[in-house]
Structure 1
Amino acid sequence: MIIENDLKLDFKDVLIRPKRSTLESRNDVDIERTFRFVHSGLEWTGFPLIAANMDVVGTMAVARALSRFGALTALHKHYPAESLIPFFRDEDTANVFYSLGTTEADYDKFQAVKAKAPVGKLCLDVANGYTERFVRVIGRLRQENPDMVIMAGNVVTGDMTEALVLAGADIIKVGIGPGSVCTTRKMTGVGYPQLSAIIECADAAHGLKGQVCGDGGCTVPGDISKAYGAGSDFVMLGGMLAGHDECEGDIRYEERGGQKVPVAMTFYGMSSDTAMHKYAGGVASYRASEGKTVEVPYRGPIDGTMQEIMGGVRSMMTYIGATKLKEVSKRTTFVRVGAQLNTVFGG
């Protein structure tokens, strides 16, 4: 048994210290980034935000909507091949990841889609990115798809980040347990504070010219700013993008003034009892549910939320004098705090 005494931090533990700046307006900053990926050699430019590959959020409608903002979507892996083929063949999918797990069924479906439609980006997603099998699958996919961008995870430590980059991943997905509908930490006791995970994994990946995607833990736009400040190249969101018209959760209606109006939408983790009953017929005898099912407020079109997120990032950049998003991590100084918000009039 080993105890690490080094301080590890989450988003709630810090604020970003402002700095003197010559910027005069939020309109003066550039929130796009350009990456050339280390293995595929492909180049991408846009706002580095990714909708999570959860079946409520990682939808084709969300992908179309976020593309208008230059942001990305990782489609959930439960779309059938007959839906994926026309989507990747007929739509502009420059900002879309095809998602898959490590089963042979996932691999076979991917091969069927790839044979009939151009797929440029892969999201290889498992809850535990520390297995040797996962490393082998990355190597296999890289060998067979040298020109594809591969994002893989999830991990939370620098050593495994390096291993996955060396195996063939361009982007490493960082986060175990921080998601709003993830109960892995509660059920297993395993996890890592998300801000420190991003800092350590980004340092490891950047040394090999790879990128990282902070996955989970963001609850407000300021958390996204902190993730970029910590070195995250991309930020993946689930709960913050749930509840919108473009999502696929069940909607609950209430009668108001003689009319039924939408008030809430279901949102659940992909290791929840809900998801496993939906896709696997129930929770397997050898495992437990590691996710929960909740209702989030119905929020209408996703455009309003994206405007809030992008506006918050722009404002953060003016506070620290960062003209370009790529400068943010170099201009960020975190201040440890005991409390972040004045909640006298509510949370």
Structure 2
Amino acid sequence: GTLQAIYEYQTQICRLTGMDVANASLYDGGTALYEACQMALHITGRNQIVIDGGVNPVYRKMLYSYTANLAIAFKEIPVTHGQSDRNHIFDAIDNDTAAVVLQNPNFFGVIDNHEDIVKHCHSKGVLVIQSIYPIAASLLVTPAEIGVDITTGEGQSLGIPLAFGGPYLGFMATKMEYVRRMPGRLVGRTTDQHGREAFVLTLQAREQHIRREKATSNICSNEALCALRAHVYLSLMGKQGLKRVAEICHAKTLYAKERFKSVKGVKVMESNPVFNEFTIALPCDAGELAGKLVERGIAPGLPLGRFYKGMDNFLLVAVTEKRTKHEIGIFAEMLEEALCR
């Protein structure tokens, strides 16, 4: 049953992303992104990665940590509150570039269509890696539709409750032509000698198996239990159910943005479309304000000054289907009260 469950999970990730093949899962979203970069380096034989500044800063830090002792060069594109800076990305690409790493929606919740970036990269022989949010993927154009080469993401939002910081679930999908470069386990469907359906591990490439030092990866733990939970969630929700959740998240986010506009001293950053996250500018330090609200039982969001210089007064707010309009209203009222003190 375990192999069949993993196979079904892989199928669901392929349907969600539109890609040809997915593996049995990885440790988390950040690890999946690192593995995708390693794939691109192996496929192209180049040694440079260009990373958009809108990619999750935690993922970027993990990427730099994993590669600290490797001969890999990184070019990081200056961050913007809006969509990916095309001119900077195109200027950063050269003959050593293996891949460009993008995120949609990006860390600030901004939605983008990277098709033009993908086309430019492919004209230069550069692969494109896109990190996605699986809930948003049910509404947005799929990575496969715009020609992305490798897709990764964090699957915790697929019905996996947090428990003191975890557990997490990294997913990865790619084009069939790159399947032998994909790390981790891969379950395939076949038939036995009697013609009965069977599920097997196939194309194994982990270092503790037959390839040893030639393995594609040695830190690609398969989170089978979390993948099973994601599989159950996706099966129960179905295509329309998942889309409905995404629509609710988006609608409540738009409501929250409008509600926050009425709070004196708060500026809602709204130059581009967002999914379920958006940034607000405050007249004070966002970290200090967040601390005050946490003491009152409100987790307001993520102070961006922790990750970006010069953004101490900016707060990233997320709204999911679990939040009610009443709760959003209480949040706005407490925010206004805290700012008036």
Could you say whether these structures have the same fold, taking a TM-score greater than 0.5 normalized by the shorter chain as the test?
A: no
* TM-score, length-scaled by structure 1: 0.32
Q: Which has the higher contact order (CA 8 A, sep 6+)?
A: 1
Instruction: Indicate the structure (1 or 2) with the bigger Cα radius of gyration.
Output: 2
